[in-house]
C-alpha cells in the first residue's frame, strides 16, 4: 500500500486528502520539488532545499518545516513506510486553504503533500532521444519551481503527438530549455553551451551538477544561449533532469545529431554524473 504524507501525517491514498479550497488546486499557488533517492539516500538534497527555499521566498509562501533537517526526516520516514529502495520524491507546498480570493489570505498554513514514485525505464532513453522545437509560451519567472505548468504540458503533449520525447522551447530565437529538462549542445570545438540560469529557465539541480562536473573534468562550458542555427551546426546534444539524469539527444526537429548516436562527450558526462550520484550513497 502506498503511503502519502499530508500536512503532518502519513496516510493511505484514500485518506490522503486536501481541501477543495487549497490554493494550489484553485490558483496553482504553490511550488514543488522532485528529488531522487537511491538505497534510501536522498540525492543532491542540499541543492533541492536551496531551490525550494528560493521558490517559497519568491512567492511569499511561509516555510512549513522547522528546518530542512526536519524535512529530511519526514522524507526518510515516508521512504521507509513505502519500503522503496530507489525512486523519487514529489514534494508540493501550496500557500494553504482559504475562501477563493485572488488576494493572499492571512493566517493560513501551507499545505504540504509528499509522495514517492518509481524510476522510469531509462534503458531505451539512454540510446538517445528526439526533441521538437516550440515557442516558449511561459511567463518571465521560469526560475521559480511553480506548480503552474500548463504551457509546459501543452507543448510537451504536442511534441509527444508528433513522436518527440521532449520539446526545446525558443524565445526570441534562443533556446531556453525543455518542458521538463535543461538543454545543452556541444559545438565542433567541443565547447558545451546551455542557457544561463536567469529568469527564463528553471535552474536545474542536474544542470548545475553537470556544469560543475564537466568543468572539473576539463571541459569548456559556456552558460550562453544558443539558436536553432547553432543546433544545425552542433556536434552533440543532451538534456538533463532529476528523473532522467543526463540523456543524449540524437535528433532535434528534423536535424539528426552525430549520425543519430550519443556523442563521446555526452557519454563521458553521463558516466561522470552517474559516478557522482553513486558517491552520495556510499
Ligand atoms: N527545466 C524544467 C522546466 C523542469 O521542469 C525541470 C525538471 N523539474 C528541469 C528543467 C530540470 O531540473 P532538475 O534537474 O532540477 O530536475
pLDDT digits 0-9 by tens, 49-74: 999 999 999 999 999 999 999 999 99
Which pLDDT score is estimated for 67? 94
Cell of 214: 564537466
- The bridge status of strand 191-194 relative to strand 245-252 is unpaired
User: Domain holding 273: CATH number?
Assistant: 3.20.10.10
pLDDT digits (tens, 9 = 90+) for 10-21: 999 999 999 999
**Same domain for 163 and 43:** no
User: Residue 199 above 90 pLDDT?
Assistant: yes
Give distance in angstroms: CA of 79 to centre of ligand 1. Answer: 22
Average pLDDT rounded to a whole number, residues 253-258:
98
- Give the mutation target among 146, 180, 245 for probing the ligand 1 site: most ligand atoms within 8 A of CB: 180
**Same domain for 263 and 137:** yes
Q: What are phi and psi of 169, to 5 degrees?
A: -90, 145
Query: In what helix (H) or strand (E) does residue 98 lie, and over which residues does it extend?
Result: none
Average pLDDT rounded to a whole number, residues 130-153:
98
Place of cell 540525492: 43
pLDDT digits (tens, 9 = 90+) for 72-119: 999 999 999 999 999 999 999 999 999 999 999 999 999 999 999 997
Contacts of 50 (CB under 8 A, 6+ apart): none
**Same domain for 53 and 188:** no
**Same domain for 175 and 92:** no
User: Residue 201 above 80 pLDDT?
Assistant: yes
Which pLDDT score is estimated for 193? 99
**Same domain for 98 and 45:** yes
Closest CA to 88 of 113, 57, 119: 119
**Structural domain containing residue 265:** 125-281
Give distance in angstroms: CA of 99 to centre of ligand 1. Answer: 32
List the catalytic residues: 145
Instruction: Read off the pTM.
Output: 0.98
* Percent of the chain's residues with pLDDT above 90: 97
CA nearest ligand 1 atom 1, residue? 181
- Give the mutation target among 37, 181, 199, 207 for probing the ligand 1 site: most ligand atoms within 8 A of CB: 181
Which pLDDT score is estimated for 121? 84
Counted domains in the chain: 2
**Same domain for 151 and 79:** no
- The domain boundary residue, chosen from 117, 144, 177: 117
- The domain boundary residue, chosen from 98, 117, 136: 117
**Same domain for 66 and 11:** yes
21 and 100 in contact (C-beta within 8 Å)?
A: yes
Going by pLDDT thresholds of 50, 70 and 90, the confidence category of residue 240 is: very high
d(CA 125, CA 95): 36
**Same domain for 166 and 112:** no
Alpha helices in 12-171 (DSSP H): 23-27, 45-58, 68-81, 150-161
Average pLDDT rounded to a whole number, residues 197-208:
98
Tell which atom from ligand 1 comes closest to the C-alpha of 201.
Answer: 1
**Same domain for 74 and 52:** yes
User: Residue 251 above 90 pLDDT?
Assistant: yes
Give distance in angstroms: CA of 182 to centre of ligand 1. Answer: 6
**Same domain for 245 and 182:** yes
User: Domain holding 84: CATH number?
Assistant: 3.30.470.10
**Same domain for 159 and 65:** no
Which pLDDT score is estimated for 119? 76
Class of residue 6 by CB neighbours under 10 A (exposed 0-12, middle 13-18, buried 19+):
middle
Going by pLDDT thresholds of 50, 70 and 90, the confidence category of residue 34 is: very high
- The domain boundary residue, chosen from 88, 117, 146: 117
The residue ranges of DSSP E strands in the chain, in sequence order, are 3-6, 9-12, 30-38, 41-42, 87-94, 111-117, 129-135, 166-171, 174-178, 182-186, 191-194, 220-223, 226-227, 236-241, 245-252, 255-256
- Give the mutation target among 51, 91, 204 for probing the ligand 1 site: most ligand atoms within 8 A of CB: 204
**Same domain for 129 and 105:** no
Give distance in angstroms: CA of 240 to centre of ligand 1. Answer: 8
Amino acid at each position: 500500500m502506498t503511503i502519502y504524507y499530508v500536512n503532518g501525517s502519513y496516510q493511505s491514498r484514500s485518506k490522503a486528502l486536501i481541501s477543495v479550497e487549497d490554493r494550489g488546486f484553485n490558483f496553482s499557488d504553490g511550488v514543488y520539488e522532485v528529488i531522487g533517492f537511491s538505497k534510501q539516500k536522498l540525492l543532491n538534497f542540499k541543492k533541492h532545499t536551496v531551490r525550494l527555499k528560493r521558490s517559497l521566498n519568491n512567492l511569499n509562501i511561509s516555510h512549513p518545516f522547522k528546518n530542512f533537517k526536519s524535512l529530511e526526516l519526514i522524507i526518510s520516514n515516508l521512504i521507509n513506510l513505502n519500503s522503496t529502495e530507489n525512486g523519487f520524491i514529489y514534494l508540493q507546498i501550496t500557500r494553504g486553504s482559504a475562501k477563493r480570493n485572488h488576494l493572499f489570505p492571512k493566517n493560513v498554513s501551507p499545505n504540504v503533500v509528499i509522495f514517492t514514485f518509481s524510476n522510469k525505464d531509462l534503458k531505451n532513453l539512454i540510446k538517445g532521444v528526439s526533441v521538437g522545437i516550440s515557442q516558449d509560451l511561459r511567463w518571465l519567472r521560469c526560475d521559480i519551481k511553480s506548480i503552474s505548468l500548463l504551457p509546459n504540458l501543452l507543448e510537451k503533449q504536442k511534441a509527444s503527438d508528433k513522436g518527440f520525447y521532449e520539446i526545446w522551447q525558443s524565445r526570441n530565437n534562443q533556446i531556453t530549455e525543455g518542458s521538463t529538462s535543461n538543454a545543452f549542445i556541444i559545438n565542433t570545438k567541443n565547447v558545451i553551451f546551455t542557457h544561463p540560469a536567469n529568469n527564463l529557465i528553471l535552474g536545474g539541480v542536474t544542470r548545475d551538477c553537470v556544469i560543475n562536473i564537466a568543468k572539473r573534468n576539463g571541459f569548456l562550458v559556456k552558460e550562453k544561449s544558443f539558436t536553432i542555427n547553432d543546433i544545425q551546426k552542433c556536434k552533440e546534444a543532451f538534456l538533463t533532469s532529476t528523473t532522467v539524469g543526463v540523456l543524449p539527444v540524437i535528433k532535434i526537429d528534423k536535424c539528426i545529431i552525430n549520425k543519430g548516436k550519443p556523442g563521446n562527450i555526452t557519454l563521458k558526462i553521463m558516466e561522470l554524473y552517474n559516478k557522482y550520484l553513486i558517491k552520495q550513497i556510499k
